[in-house]
Structure 1
């Protein structure tokens, strides 16, 4: 899942570099939102792992 998001970010950056105007702005916005998705995905996985570790201790 994370690999797909990274590839999508790279594609959006390529589109943003090669275009102008509204298309560029939308590509930049979507790349930013995809990066946020990657960050939240990482945080969620880390939180789930921490909960699993706590479950083992208790």
Structure 2
């Protein structure tokens, strides 16, 4: 999964994400923030759907 994410980010940004000399220091932190945001939104959406189903 990590290799897939690195491959996607490498293709999008045009950088070799596996080479730590090719990227700025803060860029991986930004990716983790973005990934955490996506996971959080997904989890909250599923929790909201379960609560709506339980109420009906």
**More helix per residue: 1 or 2?**
1
Query: 1 or 2 for the larger relative contact order (CA 8 Å, sep ≥6)?
Result: 1
Alignment gaps of 5+ in structure 1: 1-9
Alignment gaps of 5+ in structure 2: 1-8
Runs of 4+ that moved beyond 6 A:
none
Deviation at residue 39 of structure 1 after TM alignment: 0.4
Q: 1:16 to 1:52 in 2, by over 3 A?
A: farther
Q: 1:43 corresponds to which residue?
A: 43
How many residue pairs were aligned?
A: 46
Q: 1:5 corresponds to which residue?
A: none
Q: Show CA shifts across 1:10-51 (max 9, x none).
A: 48x736738848x62211100011000000000000000000
Q: 1:16 to 1:29 in 2, by over 3 A?
A: farther
What TM-score do the two structures reach when normalised by structure 1? 0.59
